[in-house]
Amino acid sequence: MDRQKSAAAAVLILGALLVSTRLAQATEGYFLEGYGAREKGVGGAGAADSRDPLALSINPAGLVDVGHQYTLGLTAFSPDRGYWTSGPGFVAPGHVESGRNLFPIPYGGYTRPIDQQSAWGVAFYGNGGMNTTYSPNYTSQFFVSPFCPQTGVFCGRNAGVDLNQAFITAGYAQRFGNLSIGFAPVLAVQIFKARGLAIFGPFSSAPGQLTDHSYNWSVGAGVRAGLQYRVTDKFRIGVAGSSPIWMSPFENYKGLFANQGDFDIPANITAGVAYDALPTLTLLADWKHIFYSQVPSVGNPTTQPFQLGVMNGPGFGWRDIDVIKLGAEYRGFEKLTLRAGYSYNSSPIRSRDVTLNILAPAVTQHHISGGLSYNLTPSSSIDIAAVVSPQGTVSGIERTPLGPNPLRTITLYLNTFEITAGWTHRFDAAPAPAIAAKY
């Protein structure tokens, strides 16, 4: 019992530590394609097939299939992002790269059955956030003019933003025959900082709360719920969704974000299928939709004809995106499980909005992943996954506070690499042999 309590306490402590972790530009906008090593290895799929506590991040109904276990891990996330230009214009020209190219992202979870038909669990994880850090050595062609008093991408020296999002969730699931239902309240913490944007002061409703403040905290809550249904012994379906996570506003940046600093986390829905092609091989496919457009500070067009920070004012112009995730898991070896996956998402950024999204160039669309678990003992395994996102780009004309500049084209780019290592321990008796099917 003391061992079990210690495991749960470790999860909660590490969850608190996640709040202070600085994260990087992610892949599905600012959502990660998966949060644990198992999910990442299969391309982020899993709405219909749950095997570890990070099921809480996709579909809490799957808790009833996970058993008594905990998992802990760390992702090393490395993005290469920035932009390049052609033609004369205002922002610093040429090939401009963001600094800070390595970020740690921890995760963890703990699950325990209540009886044969119900279970509960807790988990913590983080979104990829938005981060850019541009050097003050980049210089606009208008430097030393009244329009550009300092060096830097936006004539404000160290331009960039840093948004971090951490989640702690607790869930419950109940099985009713072939149907499982689960729900999980979610607590979230965000911190945000912006630098080098003073040039936008005349176009802000609160210039004193626009840029160059210390990190500002925001807290909020929402709920995730879902169901899984076993159609046959080999075929399962799953559906899950998350409400918006309603956050307190960033008071220090109410002159930047629409609706006076509001920055809620958007709702999303997921549907998936899982098929045991062999007793040792499971194929997965998920579809996900993220409602970025429903958060004004994110979804409102950058061309919105209002001042920054006002109600329904300009945002980053992100549109809703759809994500397709495909994965495969092979359990035919005595101690080894192999995984592979691929996901594709539509781009949240339109050509018209590239200028402000220099701060958040979330333009990758393809993600190729693989992973494995190796049983060191009958009850414990090490879990490894890697994800490569080839370079994605979006191009459009420059838009300054004074209007569009058709002479300048800006191309945003982003490519990422991440590797995840984790540990999973099962408190129950030795798990079923690797060759056994899920049902």
CATH number at 179 reads: 2.40.160.60
Residue 434 belongs to some domain of the structure = no
Mean pLDDT for all residues in the chain: 91
Residue 344 belongs to some domain of the structure = yes
- Note the pLDDT of residue 80: 94
Residue 8 belongs to some domain of the structure = yes
pLDDT digits (tens, 9 = 90+) for 53-94: 999 999 999 999 999 999 999 999 999 999 999 999 999 999
Residue 237: closest CA among 282, 275, 198, 199:
275
Residue 439 belongs to some domain of the structure = no
Which is it for strands 69-86 and 118-126: parallel, antiparallel or unpaired?
unpaired
| Number of domains comprising the chain | 1
Q: What percent of the chain has pLDDT over 70?
A: 91
pLDDT digits (tens, 9 = 90+) for 132-185: 999 999 999 999 888 899 999 999 999 999 999 999 999 999 999 999 999 999
* Per-residue H/E/C for 59-85: CHHHHHHCCCEEEEEEEEEEEEEEEEE
Task: Determine the structural domain holding residue 167 and report its residue range.
Answer: 2-426
- Note the pLDDT of residue 17: 45
- Note the pLDDT of residue 432: 42
Residue 437 belongs to some domain of the structure = no
Question: How many residues are present in the chain?
Answer: 439
The answer, yes or no, to whether residue 8 has pLDDT greater than 50, is no
Residue 435 belongs to some domain of the structure = no
Residue 431 belongs to some domain of the structure = no
Question: In the Cβ-directed half-sphere of 190, how many Cα atoms lie within 13 Å?
Answer: 26
Residue 25 belongs to some domain of the structure = yes
Provide the pLDDT confidence category of residue 402 given band limits of 50, 70 and 90: confident
> With contact defined as beta carbons under 8 Å apart, do 283 and 57 qualify?
no
